[in-house]
Amino acid sequence: MTPEQKSRNRMDKNAFAPTPPMGWNSYDYYDTTVTEAQVKANADYMAAHLKEYGWEYVVVDIQWYARRPNARRERYQYLPFGELAMDQWSRLLPDPERFPSSAGGAGFRPLADYIHSLGLKFGIHIMRGIPRAAAHRRGRIKDCGLTADEIADPASVCQWNPDMYGVRDCEAGQAYYDSLLELYAAWGVDYIKCDDICNSDNLVPSSPRSYAGRHEIEMLHRAIRRCGRPIVLSLSPGPALIDKAWHYARYANLWRITNDMWDSWEDVKAMFARCELWQDHVRPGCYPDCDMLPLGTIGKRFGEERQTRLTRDEQRTMMTLWCIFGSPLMLGAELTRLDAWTLSLLTNREVLSLLPPENRRRQVCRDPDRAVWVSVRADGSAAYAALFNLSDEAREVALDLDELGLDGGAVQAVEVWTGEAGETGGNTLRACPAPHGCKLYRLVPVHPAGSTEEKSEKA
């Protein structure tokens, strides 16, 4: 293998996220207002209580570059044409008032270094495109003779955020994205969540411009490969377009299959149809994304600080579906306020073990009242069945054990969340989950006493 081939292999995007990324994102609690001190506090909590279970990414979400972003929150979530921190090459910088260690051109490097010192990884949110302010000022582009107004596409604008113009599909546009990733790599960024790109017009998903950001996904992909740092690429918002699944998988690591997910049962229930649609597209380095987990304390900077409205049964249903489907897991809560029960929900090792894409998973059935998913470990050592009650009253949900592809015979069933024994008989697993609840069973074949298998094992 030549040095060039080895270099390309090291920068293979599929190797950046061999399992679905797990971490924390500032959006659900802080909206646009998170500060450096608050990010560090959540990172400290993750390192102390969650890291050993696989939680590792700390992601600063939208408008970290905006000065006083909450100045007119009663009218605007994103202040129209507000002041943005920017360098001489038309690249956004952290707001030094909220991120004081970024002053003097340091950018996010000091904060990333702190996150890395905890054994964690650092991520940022970006918007597709180039700042409108840079285009209006004819800002310079690094390593390029053109200016921002010459690569900005004024017809390509986000429906809900006023900060950016799209970038034209041209050599200079690629040079701009290359300069962005050069900067982010220098900061030590490990994860980028790019917005207004997975479905560029999520308000009108049937619009011919719904995938207007396609070329910018490709530009980001190329820039990541060139920057010399393995950076996971996440695309938002959804719903992702199923006919573009091949494109997402080729150029990104994860992509949102839904619009913003909040703490309502209707949002959770709707995810079953989305997971059914996308179940065949989960593989190493490529993950359809069910969005953040609205658990714990959320909503403060949205004007309603609250404990999640989801019941405990609904929370278990959500966590079980996300894991058995193989979605990335991102928490939106203020971590320092997690209670013991929520923490236990996030640290069940066996539930989390369902995430790796090597597990063979699929939906067995779904109707308005119930759904059943199964997953078999890659080595065949155990199988799992998730029985979901989607209705508003307790009801039986059943699974024909032949669906698991086991070798027949008796099966021992243990409910993973509670440790209770499951009911199997007549080659059927039965349960009666609470309304909006689920039962997740580990199923292991039991060989009868004196069987050939048992005698062979004793020998």
Question: Is the pLDDT score of 457 beyond 60?
Answer: no
Write the pLDDT tens digit of every residue in 335-347. 999 999 999 999 9
Question: Is the pLDDT score of 61 beyond 70?
Answer: yes
Residue 407 binned pLDDT confidence (cut-offs 50, 70, 90)? low
How confident is the model over 25-53, as a mean pLDDT? 97
Claim to verify: residue 235 and residue 374 sit in the same structural domain: no
pTM of the model: 0.92
Claim to verify: residue 206 and residue 319 sit in the same structural domain: yes
How confident is the model over 153-176, as a mean pLDDT? 94
Claim to verify: residue 188 and residue 70 sit in the same structural domain: yes
Claim to verify: residue 17 and residue 105 sit in the same structural domain: yes
Claim to verify: residue 405 and residue 265 sit in the same structural domain: no
pLDDT higher for 220 or 453? 220
- Residue 4: the pLDDT is 45
Claim to verify: residue 252 and residue 223 sit in the same structural domain: yes
How confident is the model over 33-61, as a mean pLDDT? 98
How confident is the model over 44-71, as a mean pLDDT? 95
Residue 203 binned pLDDT confidence (cut-offs 50, 70, 90)? very low
Six token digits for residue 235: 């695309």
Write the pLDDT tens digit of every residue in 116-147. 999 999 999 999 999 999 999 999 999 999 99
CATH number of the structural domain spanning residue 404: 2.60.40.1180
Domain end, chosen from 358, 388, 422, is at 358
Domain end, chosen from 307, 332, 358, is at 358
Domain end, chosen from 303, 335, 358, is at 358
Claim to verify: residue 99 and residue 139 sit in the same structural domain: yes
- Residue 10: the pLDDT is 56
- Residue 339: the pLDDT is 97
CATH number of the structural domain spanning residue 86: 3.20.20.70
Claim to verify: residue 385 and residue 341 sit in the same structural domain: no
Claim to verify: residue 402 and residue 450 sit in the same structural domain: yes
Claim to verify: residue 159 and residue 31 sit in the same structural domain: yes
Write the pLDDT tens digit of every residue in 263-315. 999 999 999 999 999 999 999 999 999 999 999 999 998 989 999 999 999 99
Claim to verify: residue 452 and residue 344 sit in the same structural domain: no
Domain count, the chain: 2
CA distance 336 to 240: 32
Claim to verify: residue 365 and residue 338 sit in the same structural domain: no
Structural domain including 182 reads 3-358
